[in-house]
Amino acid sequence: MTAASGLGAAFEDRFGVPPTHVARAPGRVNLIGEHTDYNDLPVFPMALHREVRIALRPRDDERVALYNVSDEFPPVEFEIGPAIEPYVQGSWGNYPKAAANELARRFAIWRGFDGVLSSDLPVASGLSSSSAIVNAVGLALAHINEVPTEVREFAVVMADAERYVGTHGGGMDQAISLGARDRCAAKITFSPLRLRHVNVPDDWCFIVADTGERAEKSKAAMAAYNSRRAECAEAFRIVAGHVATTNMTEKLYTSYPGLVGAVEPRTLVEAAEQVLQGNLLRRFRHVVTEAARVEEAVDRMYAADVTGFGALMDASHASLRSDFHVSSVELDELVAVAREGGAAGARLTGAGFGGCIVALADRWTVGSVLETLVAEYFERRGLADRIDDRLFVAVPSRGASYGAIES
């Protein structure tokens, strides 16, 4: 970025001097592995070409003053510290506060910044626009205060940071937004955090389509999300105890990865059927089968097997709908329309409860999928305005960065 660019000019209008630095962090689309991260099981996302950017100038005191170029989001101003008072729940300003609060809890940071933020990520649509804000602000504060930003450690700090807003999320969004590479997706494993970068085949197109239904992570969806997490933990406790006492495993496992590594998925689900009923059984079945699908999907991508990868996406969606109960009428419809248009597979992406789907097509079919989505979903529902924000082909992009602006 140069000081003369749009964001630089917006900064200068606001503060009367040019910005000196820019922090940027991309959103992400999760290809497969949904609601597995907080169970310490793998995910397979990629970073988007859409991102949050902050033009900024470090300050010599502990204040952060951050303006959003969109009028929808009021200015944010606060003092850095380890116990920052949050705004009312649902305010966008809690995301910058989250980063500052966590960094101050862990490190001696005291310098803030003046900044202007812009984002071309659709809000509350399952593309991690909020984690991108946390990461961009966190990266800026870390650089200004000389805090280490090595991806694997910093992503864990940022994941802890975001819990400030009240969602007990996993670590996928922060890790991919910070650590992604150009043209790659990454298989991410947790505890300890590791990213394995996998080239996305040149002729694969991941289409992102937004239902138009907002899935506010900080609002109603938060309770539903947090309860899924609690159910997964409860189901795990019961099944791990059961398989240990019936000698299917040699020891009592304390985490999903241990258990999933010891017993193959089908046997594990059969064991769960003996001790779980209803939603607990459904949640467990989703988590275990989804983890297996991630492993398989990574192999399918290495083999450039578009059909195989697509079938796994379809199976993931069915499981998220019927076992995990996080789909919606709109998400199901969008998935169905994408398949009708010729997609190799499609599924909801992100936490669900609204937001986006991701569909896979090869370069020869992508045009037909896009046309079908426009005609059969967006036009029918009167959502064909701002279509480029609602429907696009994701470009696998590099992770977040911080740097000086050329003058």
Work out which of 37, 210, 323, 362 binds ligand GLA, going by CB under 6 A. 37
* b/e per residue 22-48 (b: at least 16 CB within 10 A): bbbbbbbbbbbbbbbbbbbbbbbbbbb
Contact region for ligand GLA (CB under 6 A) — 166-174, 177-185, 261-269, 383-391? 166-174
Instruction: For the CB of residue 174, give the shortest distance to ligand GLA in the complex, in Å.
Output: 8
Q: Distance between CA atoms of 318 and 327, rounded to whole angstroms?
A: 9
- Please, which residues have CB within 8 angstroms of residue 300's CB and are 6 or more apart in sequence? 308, 309, 312
Work out which of 11, 22, 29, 35 binds ligand GLA, going by CB under 6 A. 35
Contact region for ligand GLA (CB under 6 A) — 29-37, 49-57, 243-251, 398-406? 29-37
Instruction: For the CB of residue 288, give the shortest distance to ligand GLA in the complex, in Å.
Output: 15
Q: Which of 173, 210, 323, 362 is catalytic?
A: 173
The residues in 169-188 that bind ligand GLA, with binding defined as CB under 6 A, are 169-170, 172-173
Half-sphere exposure of 330 (CA within 13 A, CB side): 20
Instruction: For the CB of residue 12, give the shortest distance to ligand GLA in the complex, in Å.
Output: 35
Q: Distance between CA atoms of 244 and 114, rounded to whole angstroms?
A: 56
Count of residues that bind ligand GLA according to CB under 6 A: 11
In the bound state with ligand GLA, the residue whose beta carbon lies nearer, of 144 and 161, is 161
Q: Would you call 388 a catalytic residue per the annotation?
A: no
Contact predicate 286/323, CB 8 Å: yes
Work out which of 11, 34, 142, 175 binds ligand GLA, going by CB under 6 A. 34
Q: Distance between CA atoms of 268 and 253, rounded to whole angstroms?
A: 13
The residues in 315-354 that bind ligand GLA, with binding defined as CB under 6 A, are 350-351
Determine, following the binding rule CB under 6 A, whether residue 42 of this chain makes contact with ligand GLA.
no
Distance of CA 266 to the CA centre of its chain: 28
In the bound state with ligand GLA, the residue whose beta carbon lies nearer, of 37 and 51, is 37
Range list of H helices, 166-262: 172-179, 220-245, 256-262
Judged by DSSP in three states, 46 sits in strand
Residues of this chain that interact with ligand GLA (CB under 6 A) are 30, 34-35, 37-38, 169-170, 172-173, 350-351
